């Protein structure tokens, strides 16, 4: 880390995993619609009380990544035209939990 604190912003797809990430409780995945990656959309992480914890814009491959803590979390996806999806997952330290989320837009 440099002298300036890193901002809290999330790059599209989430921050890359580095060699320092081995102790992290990572939740990552991709979002697709009809088999194609969803490139415009957002993944948000909610805690076990349903409270917002973090949000990242999806990457070009529909990807997202969170650095959570051990426990139960919900990933909620928002995409254009009201498309939504929600999945509950558990995270463990030193482990990467991978999700494949598919969304369907109402009326599509």
Partner 1 sequence: MSRSDVLVDADWVEAHLGDPGVVLVEVDEDTSAYDKGHIANAVKLDWKKDLQDPVRRDFVDKHGFEELLSDRGISNDDLVILYGGNNNWFAAYAYWYFKLYGHANVKLLDGGRKKWELDSRDLVTEVPNRPRTSYHAADADTSIRAFRDEVIAAIGQRNLVDVRSPDEFSGKLLAPAHLPQEQAQRGGHIPTAKNVPWSKAANDDGTFKSDDDLRKLYGDEAGLDFGKDTIAYCRIGERSAHTWFVLHELLEQPKVKNYDGSWTEYGSLVGVPIELGAGR
Q: Which stretches of the chain bind partner 1, using CB under 8 A?
A: 1, 3-12, 14-15, 18, 20-21, 24, 40, 42, 44-45, 47, 49, 51-57, 65-69, 78-81
**50 secondary structure, DSSP code:** S
| CB of 11 or CB of 34, closer to partner 1 | 11
Strand partners, 24: none
Could you tell me the smallest distance in angstroms from the CB atom of residue 51 to partner 1?
A: 6
Could you tell me the smallest distance in angstroms from the CB atom of residue 56 to partner 1?
A: 5
- With contact defined as beta carbons under 8 Å apart, do 87 and 75 qualify? yes
Q: How far apart are CA 39 and CA 60, in angstroms?
A: 5
| CB of 22 or CB of 100, closer to partner 1 | 22
Q: How far apart are CA 30 and CA 100, in angstroms?
A: 5
Could you tell me the smallest distance in angstroms from the CB atom of residue 75 to partner 1?
A: 11
| CB of 37 or CB of 57, closer to partner 1 | 57
- With contact defined as beta carbons under 8 Å apart, do 65 and 85 qualify? no
Q: What SS3 state is found at 35?
A: coil
Could you tell me the smallest distance in angstroms from the CB atom of residue 81 to partner 1?
A: 7
């Amino acid at each position: 880390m440099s002298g300036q604190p890193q901002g809290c912003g999330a790059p599209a797809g989430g921050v890359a995993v580095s060699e320092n990430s081995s102790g992290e409780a990572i939740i990552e995945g991709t979002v697709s619609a009809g088999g194609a990656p969803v490139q415009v959309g957002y993944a948000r992480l909610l805690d076990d009380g349903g409270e917002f914890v973090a949000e990242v814009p999806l990457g070009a491959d529909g990807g997202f990544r969170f650095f959570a803590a051990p426990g139960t979390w919900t990933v909620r996806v928002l995409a254009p035209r009201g498309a939504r999806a929600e999945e509950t997952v558990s995270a463990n330290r030193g482990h990467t939990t991978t999700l494949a989320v598919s969304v369907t837009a109402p009326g599509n």
